Amino acid sequence: MPRILIIEDDTTFNNMLFHFLQRNEYEAEQAFSSNEGLQKLAEKSFDIILSDLRLPDMDGISLLSSLNEKGNTTPFVLMTAYADVKTAVKAIKKGAADYISKPFVPEEALLILKKILSSEKKVVVEKKTQAPKNKAQNSPYYWGKSTGSIQLRKHIDLVAPTPLSILITGENGTGKEVVAKTIHENSNRNNGPFVAVDCGAIPKDIGTSEFFGHVKGSFTGAINDKAGCFEAANTGTLFLDEIGNLSYENQILLLRAIQERKIKRIGSNKEIEIDIRILTATNENLKSAVEEGRFREDLFHRINEFSIAIPALRDRQEDIEKFAYLFLEKASYQLNKEVSTISKDAMLALLKYNWPGNIRELQNIIKRATLLSEGDTLTLLSLPEEIRKSENNDEIVGLKNKSEKSAIQDALHLANGNKSRAAEILGMARKTLYNKINQYNLD
């Protein structure tokens, strides 16, 4: 029976966790401070440590660091409020196995514990010492290294194995369908179909047929039997993109099918049971749509058991260069070109552009620029005028006319403190920039 150490100073919550774990066939022991937890760890071994972030004598991050210094390799799970997700990500970077958000969701906690225990067994069997990668990291899609990207990947990895209905939000071009496919591929339904439907393209008068299908002769134009998207997605995942565009009449149809898990084709009296997971996506605020009466509140709660927000590309600047090179490699292969490098000034222009079309726009721009490139380097001239002459790029050019100290200060500000980026903006070697920073006491 797996043994779990709970380190939590809230007595009520600690006791609740203790009894919850026992009910689910775990052996649990309680500690109410970091020092008490360290004492218990010195006395016996545990399979997992569940520790609160905020403890009276030492916070969870410091406790993890202390355990690392002592060479303790027991999987460490941090329990933290949703508002402290950044801290949880920091803990994972320091070696934490995972984190559990508060308010406490029992099913989520059990999934995390089972995943860690199964991973530990796999490591023992295969005699490997490296930590297992999460499923989202194994995806062929690049998720990025920015804070927003790490959080996105974390949420995907947490929710994919669950049966929860998920609402994916984000601006156009952020990759909502990619997220939906990744969730499906990392779920226990990955052997079933993944069916994607654009709700904005479904007229209200044919919604029933699109959703549930029809039998031959049931209406004018029904020349053959047809399965609807619900039936097509049976045993798998149904992804309803831009659900905010769905007509009110079709919202009613969708709600009824989700509630009853049964459908009828038009013209048929036979009920078909459906076993599907619903994923939805929108680029608008559905809460506002509910308040304005454009979207049913009961449907909103049905599809929003868990939500995932995809950050805009302009908020993931650290990822732009990697995305650009991935798209360059893909475009060069598709277009039979040998473009393998992006010039410094072209990359700076890409970094400073606002990207209203997000990742999709970046991919299209790189493909177009690859086609226009004559050598092996994608240059500034191959980029569209709106990128070459954006306001931010004018700001870069303006740095050249300032005093050296002022220019360095502005470049560091423009690069959000990234010294490598600042050096590129100023056109000087990184080592030279470091020397100048020390010379002007800018650190």
Where is 398: in which H helix or E strand?
helix 391-399
Please indicate, yes or no, whether residues 105 and 153 belong to a single structural domain of this protein: no
Each residue's pLDDT tens digit, 181-239: 999 999 999 999 999 988 877 877 777 888 888 888 877 777 788 888 899 999 999 99
Please indicate, yes or no, whether residues 175 and 97 belong to a single structural domain of this protein: no
Please indicate, yes or no, whether residues 172 and 302 belong to a single structural domain of this protein: yes
Note if the pTM is more than 0.85: no
Longest CA–CA separation in the chain, Å: 84
First to last CA, the chain: 53
CATH classification of the domain holding 69: 3.40.50.2300
- Give the integer Cα–Cα distance in Å for 27 and 47: 10
- Per the structure, the count of domains in the chain is 4
- Give the integer Cα–Cα distance in Å for 441 and 443: 6
Please indicate, yes or no, whether residues 380 and 242 belong to a single structural domain of this protein: no
Each residue's pLDDT tens digit, 383-409: 998 898 764 554 444 444 445 677 788
Each residue's pLDDT tens digit, 95-137: 888 888 776 667 677 878 887 887 655 444 433 333 334 444 4
CATH classification of the domain holding 372: 1.10.8.60
- Give the integer Cα–Cα distance in Å for 342 and 339: 8
Domain that holds residue 430: 400-443
